[in-house]
Amino acid sequence: MNTRLQVEHPVTEALTGLDLVAEQLRIADGAPLALTQAEVRLNGHAIECRINAEDPSRGFFPSPGTIERFSWPEGVRMDTGFRTGSVVTPFYDSLVAKLIVQADDRDAAIEAMDDALAATAIDGIQTTLPLHRALVNAAAFREVAHYTTFIEAEPEAWNLS
């Protein structure tokens, strides 16, 4: 397993239309690459939010429990193994889902993600949904002035308490 593929492939797939996991399996089976790098075309902009069973307002404290309701809007990609009634245990990674949107440009992708986050419901456990919503609406993110330690350095931009 290429761990970078595991983490990043939905955004690349949204932008290229390529199924990278299928391509990886084909190559592992001895097939050549289906196309060259020069043949890969990008289309628009994509954003992924990794929704975790954690409480950002409490230092990202884990939030195991039963998901009482899990719904999301049509037209977005939601990679998840959880559903309403699923139990999130404290024993594994806290990742509940990856929400991916794609649009013609960055601003439209941000709006699509904000809409998708607003229309997604995960009840019964605390999640990072409110954090993601605050971050996509943070001026620093919208102005491309955010950075890798933004969450730690500027908690006032997303403070949920």
Same domain, 129 and 92: yes
Same domain, 110 and 73: yes
Domain span holding position 37: 1-43
Residue with tokens 């024993």: 91
For position 5, what pLDDT does the model report? 67
Same domain, 38 and 57: no
* Count of domains observed in the chain: 2
Strand positions, DSSP E, 67-137: 69-71, 77-80, 87-88, 95-103, 121-123
Same domain, 5 and 73: no
Give the pTM: 0.89
Same domain, 22 and 64: no
Same domain, 64 and 37: no
Q: Residues 69, 124: contact at Cβ < 8 Å?
A: yes
pLDDT in 10s for each residue of the chain, 161 residues: 555 666 678 898 999 999 988 888 898 899 998 899 999 999 999 999 999 999 998 889 999 999 999 999 999 999 999 999 999 999 988 999 999 999 999 999 999 999 999 999 999 999 999 999 999 999 999 999 999 998 888 888 877 75
β-pair type (54-55, 95-103): unpaired
Which residues form the catalytic set?
Answer: 4
